[in-house]
Chains A and B, each alone.
Chain A
Amino acid sequence: MFDLTLSPANNEIFIKPGQNYLLAFQITNNSSTSLILSSSVESWQPSGSQGEVNYHNTFMDPSISFSLNNADLKLGENFVLHPRENKQLVLKIMVSPLSNHQDYFYTFFVHQPADKFTGQLGGKIGAQLIISTQDKQTESLVIKKFSATPVIKDTFIKPINFHGYIYNNSSQFNKIAGKLTITKNDLLIEEFTLSPDTVLGGYSRLIRCADKNTEIIPCALKPPLWPGFYQATLSLNLPQSPSATLNFFVFPYLILIILGILFGFFFFFYRRLGRRQNSNRHSIGTT
């Protein structure tokens, strides 16, 4: 059985060219069997807008090199981790003085190789490394495609979900800091803190909302909602205070439609009943 815990799982580091950096990972074997493990570093490319990665067609930039600082272990060498045992692996990241000033994306992997001769299943667990060799840049985040769904916003039926992307205009990764505020007639209805997700330079990230305990919650207004005009404002905590606003109208459309249909039916039957009574009276009068 393969059962590993790796921490820290997400790492964002600034290293100046010519400098080294040590990063300690804790690896724990939670299984009841000993595992023969190995470690490696692979580069990745961003994929999607929710922090996904892919390992297709990536290459290891020679200006950044990796090794293990453990006295008894090298990167790529096998080591045994006994049941419930944990081990610290210290990754040394070396940035060449001639390195380009840019951001690099890697994963530090600990894996149990799949043995091709015994047909074993192999497991691989990774921790993400985002390394910037650039000087700290001015934050340059832009709000894009801020919207609310569904198109018809009913008082009762569905929650109103807010969507938006934060685009990083710079070449350096950055963190989202901001809030989503919903008001009605200038009265605050709901305020969400944006989850401090990382936006890579030149990429967009879908916004997520977090509660005060940093737990992810839907960026949504739950029904029932009072009918009327609402205003949603997405704003970022940056010196230039970028923000985007949208207005929408909430109304009990469904109830209105049901009442309309019921009224239509009553009106229709009332008319028919009236006509029948009139024709009865008419026939009584003629006989």
Chain B
Amino acid sequence: MKSKKYLLSFVFLGILGIWLLKFPKQSFSQRFQSNSYVIEWGNFNMTGGTKTSTNYRLSDTVGQMAPGESNSNAYNLEAGFQYIYNTFNKFRFTINDPDLAINFGSLSPGVGITSSHSITISCPAGHGYQIMAEYNHPLQDLSSGITIPDTKCDLGSTCTPTNANTWITNTSYGFGYNVAGVGATQYFPNITQFRPFTNTPVDIMTETTPVQNHTATVTYKVLISSLQSAGNYENAITFIAVPNY
């Protein structure tokens, strides 16, 4: 009888606990105060705030001292409360490679070589972004015109410029790439999946919401057969970042 009571209490408390955890927690905004003072305004001015109608939303700050933008060679100062909105329509794209060059060094037949760098994107507000990639031509020895073929990935798991697939065996030769990071998983589900480049822009990383400093790692892989002629093989790859409209 006693154990039944315990069991019932346990089940009841369990259900109550799950119910309470599911409710969102209330949060409080930050404010600054000392023993003598409380500052509740973001800055000292006459008035400021947001005014809304059905179709418009106006944010204003009236009477603030010395607002404006000033800059030197190394710094940009944006003084004024309204500058918090200034990132609204800025779009930033970074290719994090100091030399903007990928050097695989000397290649050995049957040994896959990889090299990587990261890319970073920010579109603080708006509609998301698209990052695309294209190349000018396959890896090519410019003196002889001989190329290292674009990868087709492993036998039985063929990849194309728009569809990544597994490339892990050392008997499937070519040049390809993988992108790993938020926004890229829909194109490259994991780091063993590769695609060949093509000479038209193809999506490699996209998101449809505003993002801040989202980074992905681009990994290039080259694997040559013993029949590949010796030479200096090269091409040019372009990454294109555009905001969604």
Contacts and interface: CB of A to CB of B under 8 A. Distances in A.
Interface stretch (A63-71, A72-80, A114-122): A114-122
A7 B243 CA distance: 11
Given A116-B236, A123-B93, A128-B242, A2 B127 contact: no
B235 A119 contact: yes
A5 B91 contact: yes
A121 B101 contact: yes
Contact of A1 (B100, B210, B240): B100
Contacts of B95: 1-3, 121, 123
A82 B128 CA distance: 28
A52 B206 contact: yes
Contacts of B76: 84, 86
Given A9-B126, A116-B136, A128 B101 contact: no
Contacts of B97: 1, 121
A116 B233 CA distance: 11
Contacts of A198: 245
A216 B212 CA distance: 13
A90 B136 CA distance: 30
Nearest to A56: B200
A224 B76 CA distance: 47
A124 B22 contact: no
Contacts of B65: none
A3 B235 contact: no
Given A8-B89, A85-B73, A156 B22 contact: yes
Contact of B92 (A3, A56, A215): A3
A107 B54 CA distance: 31
Contacts of A51: 127-128, 208, 244-245
Contacts, number: 171
A147 B167 CA distance: 39
Contacts of A125: 91-93, 240-242
A24 interface: no
A131 to B, nearest CB: 12
A215 B126 CA distance: 9
A148 interface: no
B98 interface: yes
Interface string B7-22: 0000000010011001
B93 A4 contact: yes
B239 interface: yes
A87 interface: no
Contacts of B23: 224
* Most interface-central of B73, B128, B241 (chain A CB within 10 A): B241
A86 B19 CA distance: 54
Contact of B243 (A2, A113, A124, A128): A128
A31 B242 CA distance: 19
A1 B96 contact: yes
B130 A116 contact: no
B236 A120 contact: yes
A100 interface: no
B240 A124 contact: yes
Interface string B184-218: 00000000000000001101001011100000000
Interface string B79-106: 0000000000111111111101111000
A181 B117 CA distance: 46
B113 interface: no
A53 B123 CA distance: 16
A127 interface: yes
A219 B100 CA distance: 41
A1 B118 CA distance: 11
B169 to A, nearest CB: 27
Given A119-B103, A123-B239, 15 more contacts: A2-B95, A7-B89, A8-B90, A9-B90, A10-B89, A84-B73, A84-B74, A112-B100, A116-B136, A123-B95, A125-B92, A126-B240, A128-B244, A222-B24, A224-B23
Interface of A: 1-10, 30-31, 33, 46, 50-56, 82, 84-86, 105, 107, 109, 111-128, 130, 156, 177, 197-198, 200, 208, 212, 214-216, 222-224, 237, 255
Closest 5 CB pairs of A and B: A51-B244, A114-B236, A9-B91, A119-B234, A122-B238
